[in-house]
Amino acid sequence: MLRIVLPVFIAALLSPGRCDPSDGSLTWSELPRLPDRQGFGGPYAGSHNGALLVGGGANFPDKPPWEDGRKVWYDSVFVLEKPEGAWKPAGRLPRAIGYGVSLSTEDGIVCIGGSDADRHYADAFLMRWEHCELRFAPLPPLPQPCANFCGEILDNVIYVAGGITTPASTEAMKTFWALDLRKKPLQWQTLEPWPGPARMLAVAAVQGGAFFLAGGTDLTADAQGKPFRHYLTDTYRYQPGRGWKRLADMPRSSVAAPTPAPALGRSGFLVLGGDDGTLVDFSPPEKHPGLPAGILAYDTVADAWKASGEMPAAQVTTTLVRWQGGHVMPSGEIRPGVRSPAVFLLRTSD
């Protein structure tokens, strides 16, 4: 298992007693690769009963998109039961789907929304790993279909934000929904959204009793009626009972970064890479150098961002999973139209 230690220059940003890693570093380990040559964009991922599960998502199995390759969605689920083990087929999702939100709970992995080649879905379900068997249970559907959104759990309440409603949407969503896992029957609530542009592919985080929403992209229609991205840097904090507050802008845009963002100490979180928009029109596409690998650290007390080193590999449109005392970054997109089966485990030194 490859082990990489990269310096993360956070000390100047963070005050003593806050999110101050003891050795000023992040540790990255490479786990076994997913058993797929291409890897997947937009997989559902989570942990349950000690096992790591990754399923669904999409790739271009035959030809890349710039050669008119067809994008294919999958329903296969793989399981890794220990870091030094091997991935095994675990079963199949209810349908071939990806680009939803997946969050780990004690009862299982909550999988919300998502898309396939034809439509977006409002469906939600619980994915469980019990006695070496994959099981599912239905959950209440979202108020409307949604994909390419973000979410996180705060005090047993799931919050999800933004997204798009159809594959051809030229407008992003400005929606903020909550599902309180403590209240029965379970039911989604529509909450007041953040005081800024609509967005998709943003990053969600939870720290210090608050939900954070950072970056992403808004959409409009271009001259041909196709979606055009407006890269965002704005950041917001939501505190239950107190509402939203705009925070310091990110130093650069970050679209489709792995989410939820990993917490750092007691008052920080990290945004891992993400598309910053600087290579949108890069040509030729087969020579694309890859997406940014830079890490941004946010201090919730100082309301300040800091560039903080780099990842060993930049992967986007994937879900971070808390597992084995760290955060797993499974598969994802490494440049437009290209995935990777690589799986990394990040441990913070706090």
pLDDT of residue 349: 74
Q: What is the pLDDT of residues 306-342, one digit of tens each?
A: 998 899 999 999 999 999 999 999 999 999 999 999 9
Question: Which residues have CB under 8 Å from 202's CB, separation 6+?
Answer: 149, 150, 161, 162, 213, 214, 215, 216, 232, 255, 259
User: Considering the chain, what is the average pLDDT of its residues?
Assistant: 92
Q: What is the pLDDT of residues 117-176, one digit of tens each?
A: 999 999 999 999 999 999 999 999 999 999 999 999 999 999 999 999 999 999 999 999
Q: What is the pLDDT of residues 237-270, one digit of tens each?
A: 999 999 999 999 999 999 999 999 999 988 999 9
C-alpha separations of 44 from 24, 100, 140, 217 in Å = 31, 7, 18, 21
Task: Tell me the domains of the chain and their CATH numbers.
Answer: 3-348 (2.120.10.80)
Residue 285 DSSP symbol:
G
CB 120 within 8 A of CB 97: no
Q: How confident is the model at residue 9 (pLDDT cuts 50, 70, 90)?
A: very low
Kindly report the backbone phi and psi dihedral angles of residue 316, in degrees, each rounded to the nearest multiple of 5, phi listed first: -125, 180
pLDDT of residue 21: 36
The closest of 106, 98, 111 to 130, measured between CA atoms, is 106
Q: What is the dihedral of CA 56, 57, 62, 68, to 10 degrees?
A: 140
pTM assigned to the model: 0.92
As beta bridge partners, residue 161 has 150, 176
Q: What is the pLDDT of residues 66-102, one digit of tens each?
A: 999 999 999 999 999 999 999 999 999 999 999 999 9
pLDDT of residue 350: 60
pLDDT of residue 25: 73
